Amino acid sequence: MRTACQTALLVLCFMAGAPPRCPAQPPETLPPARAQQMFLEAGQAYDQGRLADAVRQYDELRRHGHRFQELFYNLGNARFRQGDLGRAIANYRRAWVLKPRDPDVRANLRYALQTAGVPEPSVRWTQNLLFRLSRSEWLAIAVASWWIAAALGCLYLWTRARPSWLLRLVFVLLLVLLVAAAGVLEWDRLCRAPEVVVMGKGREALFAPLEGSTAHFALPEGSIGRVVEKSGNWIKLACGAQEGWVQAAHCLPVCYWLAKDRGFGGE
């Protein structure tokens, strides 16, 4: 009679043929050489104080599907120097999503939030641990642990000796896989809620999704909230312990490449 451990290993070996799938990336319409040239030209424009030119070229790269930490970080710096706190915070937050451990990104995001007078989004201690690695890093760990565990599981089943240390190693890898999967899911939840940044000064969250509704609480420019409900052109934001309605056009999604709703404000 096959034991529970052997059954689990057989299932693992069978499922190894179908590893988790990554979301498809949009095609890049700019040739790599042209994209690199634009990125360098934008950096030169920033260094020379031509902030409008720098923002224009960084934004063009972004609109063509380029998404990397340095692009969002530099765009955040340019927006901050222009005094556009909302878009600066949105781009710093995007850079943080891609590289959450980068000290420069974290420092600039924190400084921009302090300048805007808004608090950093509160997270649970489990989220704080899982957000130490990016989604792509957790995904790489999950895929690697998946295949290594499958290979070792097959080796355990096919060898006569069947050493106990090999079985323990398989289960350690499975635990690593579970933690990595939790990290990927937590990032997906963060990006698909979605998280948005409030644009413009003097915004207020309302009690109801209607023009002229009673104001609930103030939303300073750069406030980061999570969408918990939608109603037409209105979204219900959760900012800390408070929730209120605001027009979607007054907000920018952080993970805009995952946002299905196109009613958000433009950049």
Domain extents for the chain?
32-116, 129-192, 195-258
pTM: predicted TM-score of the whole model, two decimal places: 0.79
Instruction: Give pLDDT tens digits for 181-200.
Output: 999 998 888 776 789 999 99
Q: How confident is the model at residue 29, as a pLDDT?
A: 67
The pLDDT score that the predictor gives to residue 260 is 63
Neighbouring C-beta atoms of residue 240, cutoff 10 Å: 12
Q: Do domains 32-116 and 195-258 have the same CATH topology?
A: no
Give the Cα-Cα-Cα angle 101, 122, 237 (nearest 5 degrees): 120
Tell me which DSSP letter residue 257 carries: G
- Residue 1 clears pLDDT 50, i.e. is over it: no
What was the pLDDT predicted at 247?
Answer: 95
Name the average pLDDT for the chain.
86
Q: Does residue 58 surpass a pLDDT of 50? A: yes
pLDDT in tens, 13-35: 333 333 333 333 444 568 889 99
Residues in contact with 158: Cβ distance below 8 Å, sequence separation at least 6, in sequence order: none
pLDDT tens digit sequence for 69-108: 999 999 999 999 999 999 999 999 999 999 999 999 999 9
Can you tell me the mean pLDDT for 33-59?
96
Pick the CATH number of 32-116 from 3.90.1720.10, 1.25.40.10, 3.50.50.60, 3.30.70.260: 1.25.40.10
**Res 254 pLDDT > 50:** yes
Beta bridge partners of 244: 237
By three-state DSSP, how is residue 230 classified?
strand
Going through 132-250 in order, the beta strands assigned E by DSSP cover 195-198, 203-206, 215-219, 224-231, 234-239, 242-247
Options 2.30.30.40, 2.40.50.140, 3.90.226.30, 1.10.760.10; CATH for 195-258 is 2.30.30.40
Q: Cα–Cα distance between 56 and 37 in angstroms, integer?
A: 14
CA nearest 194: which of 240, 249, 251? 251
